[in-house]
Structure 1
Amino acid sequence: MTVQRFLPLDLTAATTLLCDADGTLFPSEEPAYAASADVTNRFLAGLGAERAFAPEELQRMTNGKNFRAAAAQLATGYGRQLTRADLDGWVTEEKDVVTAHLRTVLRPDPAVQGPLERLSDRFALAAVTSSASSRLAACLEVTGLAALFDADRRFSAEDSLAKPTSKPDPAVYLHAGATLGVSPAEAVAVEDSVNGALSAVAAGYPTIGILQFVPGADRRERTEALREAGVAAVVESWADAERLLC
């Protein structure tokens, strides 16, 4: 088992596993940024950007945030403020483009599905994501994980909150915990990104960092960044997460 522990992890009262989605349950981040790049670059051109950005650059700039938060961040960098209507239009276009692409590239992964099915015997599973609910539903469907995450146990920072936000804001985790009726002692979060870990930790949930879909060359740096974000442990895979949690 490849696990790095940083903080105590008390599972005595834990009943619920709060799982990030993109990059944690399925390898959607790279294909999502590839599909999003055209929309994002057209958006940036309208702000006055003098060049287009590669998907890898956009991912480094905004990893762990949804398009709404990333677009607002990028607009601020160009000294612009967007109206809610303008931002909503871009968010809808990006969501539709990315969701359609992810439906064509994601597949079931036994290395995720098997451990999660066994973990579901011990924990109630919930998905907590910055992405839109429709994108989450599509990804869960094509990866064969939909049956493990009931519709009323899926929480989106884009759609589940009165005011859309994104990780690292803890709002989506606070909302998920309140809706499910679980305290930090009763749930554990699993996150791959630093912004995601910051969100879960700020909400008070003990958090496990997972490297299942993090490229090998980036794992040492990601591990250190997750440790600094406050995670209790970092695991290499869902198989390691299963052994740690059970």
Structure 2
Amino acid sequence: MNASIKPIRHPRFDCVIFDCDGVLVDSEPIVNRVLNQMLNELGIEISLEDSTRWFLGRAVREELDNIALRRGAPLPENWLSQWLARRNAVLEAEVQAVPHVREAVTAIAAAGLPICVASGADRVKVKLQLSRTGLVALFQQDEREHIFSSTEVERSKPAPDVYLLAARTMNVEPSRCAVIEDSPAGITAGVAAGMTVFGYAARNDAASLLAAGARSTFTDMRELPGLIG
């Protein structure tokens, strides 16, 4: 455990739920770069900044109609599968864990707090990234994998479905769950689920996370155990 992280002596919650992209893995710059390239290839002239803002915390598969509308024509039949293949290939080559997140998660688990992942992304992406960074083992307990994704629910974030699924499966009341999120859409989902949300603002604007309902924000994962304790 990192010496700069103090042990949690009095946890305030019964479960800590982590978003994946931008919280556990530093994937968003990678994914946004590939998505921006593919949008421009479709003839949609859009800056990296604007496409990043558009898709922050949202699933691409749920924005297909909006992409077609902006293009002014239907998408090619295989566009979504091409997007997934290109995205996964680049993530496999480049994705890294968020700095100090391994130590923070380890400290929280060492306090006896159940932990899990609840992502708005598809399960293939979540597993690829957690495996690539070696974080997946942190969320495997008692021969069970405590990982939840948009693949298992009807609606992705900002709907609360994946967080409610996580709470049910972990057998914890939503009001006793802490959520770690980095996007307004994800924070909206956690708040709608009745959970306490902490906003990780290393890359995204802290004011927007607070406006979405975050209890507080932080910029260094070494701060997280102190917020939970």
In the other structure, the counterpart of 1:124 is 114
CA distance in 2, matches of 1:232, 1:28: 24
Superposition map of 1:1-246 within 5 A: 12=12, 14-42=13-41, 45=42, 49=43, 51-77=44-70, 86=77, 89-108=78-97, 111-122=100-111, 123-150=113-140, 152-157=145-150, 159-161=151-153, 163=154, 165-212=155-202, 214=203, 222-246=205-229
CA distance in 2, matches of 1:155, 1:24: 15
Q: CA deviation at 1:242?
A: 1.4
**Secondary structure, counterpart of 2:116 in structure 1:** strand
* Alignment coverage as a number of residue pairs: 216
CA distance in 2, matches of 1:38, 1:121: 42
CA distance in 1, matches of 2:225, 2:108: 6
Deviations 1:208-240 (A, max 9, x none): 00123x1xxxx5xx2111111111111122111
CA distance in 2, matches of 1:96, 1:78: 21
After superposition, the Cα gap between the structure-2 partners of 1:110 and 1:79, relative to the gap in structure 1 and judged at 3 Å, is: closer
Q: CA deviation at 1:29?
A: 0.4
Runs of 5+ unmatched residues, structure 2: 1-9
In the other structure, the counterpart of 1:7 is none
Deviations 1:143-174 (A, max 9, x none): 221101236311111x112x3x3211111112
Question: TM-score, normalised on structure 1?
Answer: 0.78
**Secondary structure, counterpart of 2:36 in structure 1:** helix
Please tell me the root mean square deviation across aligned C-alpha atoms, in Å.
2.4
CA distance in 2, matches of 1:100, 1:81: 25
**Secondary structure, counterpart of 1:190 in structure 2:** strand
CA distance in 1, matches of 2:50, 2:93: 23
Runs of 5+ unmatched residues, structure 1: 1-9
After superposition, the Cα gap between the structure-2 partners of 1:168 and 1:125, relative to the gap in structure 1 and judged at 3 Å, is: same
Q: Which amino acid aligns with 1:196?
A: G
After superposition, the Cα gap between the structure-2 partners of 1:76 and 1:226, relative to the gap in structure 1 and judged at 3 Å, is: same
After superposition, the Cα gap between the structure-2 partners of 1:155 and 1:40, relative to the gap in structure 1 and judged at 3 Å, is: farther
Question: TM-score, normalised on structure 2?
Answer: 0.84
After superposition, the Cα gap between the structure-2 partners of 1:199 and 1:76, relative to the gap in structure 1 and judged at 3 Å, is: farther
CA distance in 2, matches of 1:25, 1:74: 28
Q: Percent identity of the aligned residues?
A: 24
**Secondary structure, counterpart of 1:120 in structure 2:** helix
Query: Contact between 1:39 and 1:93, CA under 8 Å: does it hold in 2?
Result: no
